[in-house]
Amino acid sequence: MAEARQICPACYRLIPADVHVCPACGADLDALSARDYRVKLLAALHHPLDDVRMRAILALGLRGEAETAEALADCALRHPVDVVEGLAVVGALVRLGSAGRNTLLKLAARAPAHAVRQAARRAADGLPGEKDA
């Protein structure tokens, strides 16, 4: 019978399910589990599995916290070939309203995917704030 496993939320390695300290990186799993939900979502933006990142993007967008804008954009820029993820980031930034506008402009200028750049530009142009010439 196979041993039960879990993924370390700090280093993302597969480890035994019954440990409280990651044998790979030494992270205190109980302390990581006790973190604030927003902190967990921000950490999930670095997860190697795209579906985990996508869930974090969607959840952060729904929460609408302006201080998460840069982390969302950085996630999109770290995964330039994932256009769907990039578009989800644009959607999450739109939910931030004018607080997400500057970050949308950053994506409009730096995202490698044309579709993400265009969506970010259109979204930024539709939000209140100083318009670029």
Claim to verify: residue 106 and residue 43 sit in the same structural domain: yes
Confidence at 24, pLDDT banded by 50, 70, 90: very high
pLDDT of residue 21: 97
Instruction: Report the predicted TM-score, pTM, of the whole model to 2 decimal places.
Output: 0.86
Claim to verify: residue 79 and residue 92 sit in the same structural domain: yes
Count of structural domains, the chain? 2
pLDDT of 105 strictly over 90 = yes
In a domain, 74, yes or no: yes
pLDDT of 14 strictly over 80 = yes
Claim to verify: residue 78 and residue 108 sit in the same structural domain: yes
Which of 60, 66, 22 is closest to 43 using CA atoms?
60
Claim to verify: residue 91 and residue 68 sit in the same structural domain: yes
Claim to verify: residue 5 and residue 58 sit in the same structural domain: no
In a domain, 11, yes or no: yes
Claim to verify: residue 81 and residue 47 sit in the same structural domain: yes
Claim to verify: residue 9 and residue 62 sit in the same structural domain: no
How far apart (Å, rounded) are the C-alpha atoms in residues 8 and 11? 6
Claim to verify: residue 59 and residue 114 sit in the same structural domain: yes
User: In the predicted model, what is the mean pLDDT of residues 107-120?
Assistant: 97
Claim to verify: residue 63 and residue 110 sit in the same structural domain: yes
CA angle centred on 54, ends 107 and 72, rounded to 5°: 35
pLDDT of residue 133: 39
pLDDT of residue 1: 61
Burial class (CB in 10 A: 0-12, 13-18, 19+), 72: buried
> Which token pair is 126?
């539709």
pLDDT of 35 strictly over 80 = yes
Q: Which tens digits make up the pLDDT trace of 54-70? A: 999 999 999 999 999 99
Structural domain span for residue 97:
36-125
In a domain, 130, yes or no: no
The label of the residue with tokens 């997860």 reads 47
How far apart (Å, rounded) are the C-alpha atoms in residues 133 and 131? 6
Claim to verify: residue 65 and residue 110 sit in the same structural domain: yes
Claim to verify: residue 50 and residue 26 sit in the same structural domain: no
Burial class (CB in 10 A: 0-12, 13-18, 19+), 74: middle
